[in-house]
Structure 1
Amino acid sequence: MSSRRSRQSSSGARISDDQIVQLISKLQQLLPGTRIQRSNKASASKVLQETCTYVRSLHREVDDLSDRLSQLLSTIDADSPEASIIRSLIM
């Protein structure tokens, strides 16, 4: 089969293999530590696995920061301007 065959997504739009390669390349550039290795082509599977790992780590970081903000909020006066700022960050 041709390398230019199209794939159909659930929305009905078609995306070519070349477009997939370009999207994977762009995604790889967004991952930390892979910008240096731009000339090193990773498999799409590897890039997607690294992306999932990175997104999970970002999610854990957000949870940790939210917990820290909640703890900070519990130690200050609830009516203070600082408390208002912290509440706006959490919500």
Structure 2
Amino acid sequence: MSSRRSRAQSAAAGSSRISDDQIIELVSKLHQLLPEINRSNGRRTNKASANKVLQETCNYIKNLHKEVDNLSDRLSQLLSTVDADSPEAAIIRTLI
């Protein structure tokens, strides 16, 4: 028996097995959410490998984390320049 078949059978034994169709659907949804991968020469395209979609998703999430960190740093710097009891400071604290 091939190793792929034995993996599939052991995965099927578990109740949380995800089907190939579900994986394709999830990758398709990710593909639609990614801004850069959705454009090819100025138009939307539905052709991208699952590997590329997953790589781009990881890159996009990493970039979003960096952006959040940068914005948090900027808000912290701004907070240090305003009066701690001011309404502006309270708003900034809620954003951090």
Give me the TM-score of the superposition, normalised by structure 2. 0.77
Query: Residue 38 in 1 paired to residue 45 in 2?
Result: yes
Q: How does 1:22-37 map to 2 (within 5 A)?
A: 22-36=25-39, 37=44
Deviating above 2 A after TM superposition, structure 1's stretches of 4 or more consecutive aligned residues are 5-9, 33-39
Which piece of structure 1 moves more, 64-73 or 11-20? 11-20
Gaps of 5+ in 1: none
Relative distance call for 1:14 and 1:45 in structure 2 (3 A) is same
Alignment CA distance shift 1:75-1:56 (3 Å) = same
Instruction: Report the TM-score when normalising by structure 1.
Output: 0.81
Q: Number of residue pairs matched?
A: 85
Q: Once superposed, what is the RMSD of the aligned Cα atoms?
A: 2.4
Contact residue 6 and residue 17 of structure 1 kept, 8 A? no
In the TM superposition, what are the counterparts of 1:76-91 in structure 2 within 5 Å?
A: 76-90=82-96
More helix by share: 2
Question: Which AA in structure 2 matches 1:53?
Answer: N
Q: Distance in 1 between matches of 2:46 and 2:86?
A: 52
**Higher Rg of the two aligned structures:** 2
Say which of 54, 75, 79 aligns to 1:73. 79
Residue identity over aligned pairs, in percent, reads 64
Cα deviations across residues 38-83 of structure 1 (Å, max 9, x unaligned)? 332x111111110000000000000000000000000000000000
Name structure 2 gaps, 5 residues minimum. Answer: none
